[in-house]
Structures are given as C-alpha cells and as structure tokens.
Amino acid sequence: MGWQTGLMASNPPVSGDPSPSRQQAPSSVAASSVAAVSTTAQDEAVEICRDLVRIDSVNRGNGDGNERAAAEYVAAKLAEVGLEPTLLESAPGRTSVITRIEGSDPRRPPLLIHGHLDVVPADPADWRVHPFSGEIVDGSLWGRGAVDMKDMDAMTLAVVRDLLRSGRRPPRDLVLAFVADEEAGGTLGARWLVDNHPQLFADCTEAISEVGGFSYTVSDDLRLYLIETAQKGIAWMKLTVTGRAGHGSMTSDDNAVTALCEAIVRLGRHRFPIVVTPTVRTFLDSVGEALGIEVDADDLETTIAKLGPIARMIGATIRNTANPTQLNAGEKVNVVPGEATAHVDGRFLPGQEEEFLRQIDELIGPAVRRDWVVFDQALETGFDGPLVDAMAGALKAEDPAARVVPYMLSGGTDAKSFSRLGIRCFGFSPLLLPPDLDFAGMFHGVDERVPVESLRFGVRVLDRFLAAS
Ligand SMILES: [Zn+2]
C-alpha cells in the first residue's frame, strides 16, 4: 500500500479527435464512452506545463516573487482562443490573470477554477534533473511546479482552449483565476483579489483547485480518488518571554530562555484531544472498508498507523497541532539575554478555533506573550451535491476502478481566501498516479515530477467534469 497505483491497462485508451457534433458527457457517463476532449488538448497540456515550469516564478516569501512572465504567458494562451483576460498586479511583478467564459445556461451560477502561478524555491544541486528545465525523463515531466501546481494550470488551459476551439460551451459560466503568491499565503494574490476585486468572482458558488482528485491505489480494480473538502486553519505564532538580563556567572531566577523553553516543551509535548469532523469520519470509514482495516473509534491512532505512508498526514487531521519550529535568544555564552522568542506552527480543525486558542494559552501560561504571524480560517464543506457527482462521474468514466473519497488537507491553500466570498471550495486536480510515486513527497520536494500520462488523464477527466458540472 502507498501513494501508488499503476497506470493500469484498464485505463481506457485515448480517444480520437472529436467530431464537431458530439454530445457532452453526462455525469453518469459510462466508462466505455468516448471522451470529448481532443488528443491535441492532451498534448497541449504537456507542452503548456513544460513551458510554465521553464518560467521562473519562484516565491521566496516576504514579497520576494515575480509571476508576471507566467501570467503573460497564460494571458496569451487565453487570448489566442478569443478570450479577453484581465491582468492585475498587487505589486510590481505580482501578477494574476482572470477571465470569464460564458456558459450555455445563464441561469446557473459560475464555477471558479483557480490555480497559483508561483512555486517554492528549488536548489538545482539537489535535483537529478534541473528544476526549471521541464525535461521529460522516464515518462514524467520534471520540475518545480510539476504537481504544485503548474500541472493543473496547464490542464485547465488545455481543456478550456479545446472547448473554445471546438465551439463547445460549458453549461455554467467559468471564471478562471491564475494567481500570484499562494506559496506565501496569497497576500499579494488570492487574498488581495478577494479584498480588492471581489466583483470578478461575483455569483461564483463553487470552486475547484489543487491538492485533490489524485489516486491512491488499493488494488488493480479499486483506486480511491481523494477529493479535498476540508482544510485545517493556520495559526502561526511568535512567542516572546522577557526576563532580567545579566551576567551568566550569577544566579538568575528570571531567565527568559528557561521560561520560554518550559512553555515550548509543554506545547511541543502536548497531545491535543482527538476530534473527528464529518470529512474525516467519512474518509476513515471509506478507507477502512477499502483496505479491510477495522476503524476502531476508541483507538483511531492505531487505525491510522495502519494506513502506511499517509498516516502522518491523516494523523494530523484528527487533532489540533502545535509544532515549535524556531528558537531565538542570546548572543554570548556568558550573557543572560533579556528576551527569548520562538515560532510555533499551529493548525486547528474546522470548528476548533476558539478551543485551540484556549488550549494554547493554557499551555504557554501568562508569562508568555503570543502574537500571530499568520492566522487563517479552517474550512469544511459537505461531500454531496451535483458538483461532487460530476467529479465522481468524470473519474469513473476514465478509470472504471475509481471511487471518490473526501479528505481533509492538513495544510492550507488559496481556498481559504475564496471561501470568504461564500464559495464552496474543493481540491480537484485529477491525476491517476503510478505505483512508485511518493505523491505527498512531491509537494515542495526534490525531484518534483508528474507522469505525462497522468496529465493526459487529468485533461480527459476535467473535460468530462466541466461538461457535467
Ligand atoms: Zn500549491
């Protein structure tokens, strides 16, 4: 068991070029039906993904990033098929691209597809293939952004270009947003757009984006596709203790370093109580059944330990967490500093915000000052409705072994910003993954890559999904 699957022989063959008169696939489309999307679109997704990987859009945080070249590339691809994209800059070089595509049914609310254009840094010295080369080696496209998330940007562009070139229209209006700065919390991207240009997303009720829709193989005839319906909240904090500065040779009963470390140890050693939200409950029941593991409600940790490589990620979705990550105090061995600080990466479950704060303050005690570095909400939406049916139907049509399962992301995405507009946000970037790929390890990892066949699969699924959504 693992983050694995085969690109199985059961995967339907790539369809031929579409005829102009073909029907749009319904959500319950049979597995044997022919995909509407062209092979050209599938080829194009690979080319666009390569092009995007080759454009350096590294985001180093603290405002140090530049998405303009990537945004201009995306805008040109959209303009080529007759769209009139809007480019917006929150700061010089921090460019996002938005466009709207008219659907066939004006009574239906628009669907938002959002993807970020920035990537985290990559040191070429660590990689087997240069991280900005976009090389295709062993059937995979390598490079920073290959799974996070220039793959989905490329698949979205390829599908939409194919729709427009072939004169098809999606049932709903589509709003496409290719945004800056996700990797630094979206302050200069999604958050800025939502705060300053909310009208661009007017009436959107639902959204899809990254970190969901990928496969997890159970057996040749059962692959789970994890759809993200929830994510934990972020509570990054700085803790500060002040004490009495003095000579290191003398007695010191008001030592800031000692007091801070006591608080950090209490926090770092604390096991927050287990809270199972509806998403995690459904996930554990579904995965338990699929793997033949009995889910013991009284001993979830033992159950989760049996999940193998995903145990650490799933383990983080049954409780709040607070991991101390940085310490800073003192300059010299014989000088007691007057102040000591620490940073803690806190994450809380949906519905647990107030309880988490109470727990944190109780653990650190009154002598420690707490300041937020980043604070953002947790999300959870139901795993139901026509959009979820459309995801399940599209996956099943391209992979008869597919079964969809909701899951909670322990991290955060731009969905936090877009959900402020009342939009239901899902992680759905469909990929059928090969058996030996450590997919979770690809995100921000060395040798990030995406199998070319996975991209092609994603294009076919997205096309079916849009037709049925
Ligand atoms: Zn991402």
Ligand 1 center–CA 119 separation, angstroms:
7
Ligand 1 center–CA 1 separation, angstroms:
25
Indicate whether 211 and 275 sit together in one domain: no
Number of neighbours of residue 416 by Cβ within 10 angstroms: 21
Ligand 1 center–CA 148 separation, angstroms:
4
Ligand 1 center–CA 188 separation, angstroms:
15
Ligand 1 center–CA 183 separation, angstroms:
7
Ligand 1 center–CA 442 separation, angstroms:
11
Ligand 1 center–CA 360 separation, angstroms:
28
Instruction: Tell which of 376, 407, 439 closes a domain.
Output: 376
Which pairing describes strands 424-427 and 206-209: parallel, antiparallel, or unpaired?
parallel
Ligand 1 center–CA 358 separation, angstroms:
30
- Region of 229 please: left (phi>0), alpha (psi -120 to 50) or beta: alpha
Indicate the SS3 state at residue 408: strand
Q: Quick check: is 27 in a domain? A: no
Enter the DSSP assignment of 20.
T
Q: Quick check: is 30 in a domain? A: no
Indicate whether 270 and 123 sit together in one domain: no
Ligand 1 center–CA 16 separation, angstroms:
32
Burial 52-76 (b: 16+ CB within 10 A, else e): bbbbebbbeeeeebbbbbbbebbbe
Instruction: Tell which of 357, 376, 395 closes a domain.
Output: 376
Inter-residue contact 378 to 230 (CB < 8 Å): yes
Ligand 1 center–CA 325 separation, angstroms:
21
Ligand 1 center–CA 412 separation, angstroms:
9
Q: Which ranges in 81-134 belong to alpha helices (H)?
A: none
Ligand 1 center–CA 423 separation, angstroms:
19
Q: Quick check: is 409 in a domain? A: yes
Ligand 1 center–CA 210 separation, angstroms:
6
Q: Which residues pair with 303 in a beta bridge?
A: none
Query: What is the residue range of 341's domain?
Result: 233-376
CATH classification of the domain holding 326: 3.30.70.360
The Cα–Cα gap between 122 and 104 comes to: 43
Ligand 1 center–CA 242 separation, angstroms:
38
Indicate whether 163 and 288 sit together in one domain: no
Taking alpha carbons only, the member of 203, 12, 193, 175 closest to residue 94 is 193
Ligand 1 center–CA 458 separation, angstroms:
17
Contacts 24+ apart (CB under 8 A), 354-361: 355/320, 356/233, 356/235, 356/272, 356/320, 357/235, 359/270, 359/272, 359/320, 360/235, 360/237, 360/267, 360/322
Q: Quick check: is 181 in a domain? A: yes
pLDDT of res. 35? 58
Number of structural domains in the chain: 2
Indicate whether 227 and 264 sit together in one domain: no
Q: Which ranges in 246-341 belong to alpha helices (H)?
A: 256-269, 278-291, 300-305, 311-315
Indicate the SS3 state at residue 46: helix
Indicate whether 142 and 185 sit together in one domain: yes
Indicate whether 153 and 243 sit together in one domain: no
Indicate whether 184 and 252 sit together in one domain: no
Indicate whether 210 and 346 sit together in one domain: no
The Cα–Cα gap between 124 and 130 comes to: 5
The torsion defined by the Cα of 134, 138, 139 and 144, in degrees rounded to 10, comes to -30
Enter the tokens of residue 25: 């696939």
The Cα–Cα gap between 242 and 104 comes to: 63
Ligand 1 center–CA 138 separation, angstroms:
24
pLDDT of res. 441? 84
Ligand 1 center–CA 100 separation, angstroms:
22
Indicate whether 227 and 215 sit together in one domain: yes
Ligand 1 center–CA 150 separation, angstroms:
9
The Cα–Cα gap between 121 and 214 comes to: 24
Indicate whether 75 and 223 sit together in one domain: yes
CB neighbours of 325 closer than 8 A, spacing ≥ 6?
A: 343, 344, 345
Q: Quick check: is 451 in a domain? A: yes
Indicate whether 208 and 71 sit together in one domain: yes
Ligand 1 center–CA 413 separation, angstroms:
7
What predicted TM-score, i.e. pTM, was given to this entire model?
0.88
Angle at which helix 150-165 crosses helix 68-80, to 10 degrees, equals: 20
Ligand 1 center–CA 181 separation, angstroms:
10
Q: Quick check: is 384 in a domain? A: yes
The Cα–Cα gap between 414 and 408 comes to: 15
CATH classification of the domain holding 153: 3.40.630.10
Chain CA centroid to CA 141, Å: 19
Indicate the SS3 state at residue 38: coil
Ligand 1 center–CA 120 separation, angstroms:
9
Inter-residue contact 397 to 30 (CB < 8 Å): yes
Which pairing describes strands 174-179 and 111-116: parallel, antiparallel, or unpaired?
parallel
Ligand 1 center–CA 340 separation, angstroms:
33
Indicate whether 126 and 60 sit together in one domain: yes
Ligand 1 center–CA 189 separation, angstroms:
13
Ligand 1 center–CA 152 separation, angstroms:
10
Ligand 1 center–CA 297 separation, angstroms:
32
Instruction: Tell which of 376, 402, 417 closes a domain.
Output: 376
Q: Quick check: is 336 in a domain? A: yes
Q: What is the pLDDT along the chain (469 residues), one digit of tens a residue?
A: 222 222 222 333 333 333 333 333 333 333 445 557 888 999 999 999 999 999 999 999 889 999 999 999 999 999 999 999 999 999 999 999 999 999 999 999 999 999 999 999 999 999 999 999 999 999 999 999 999 999 999 999 999 999 999 999 999 999 999 999 999 989 999 999 999 999 999 999 999 999 999 999 888 899 999 999 999 999 999 999 999 999 999 888 999 999 999 999 999 999 999 999 999 999 999 999 998 988 888 899 998 888 776 777 789 999 999 999 999 999 999 999 999 999 999 999 999 999 999 999 999 999 999 999 989 999 999 999 999 999 999 999 999 999 999 999 999 999 999 999 999 999 999 999 987 788 888 999 999 999 999 999 999 999 999 999 9
Which stretch of DSSP H or E encloses residue 242? strand 233-242
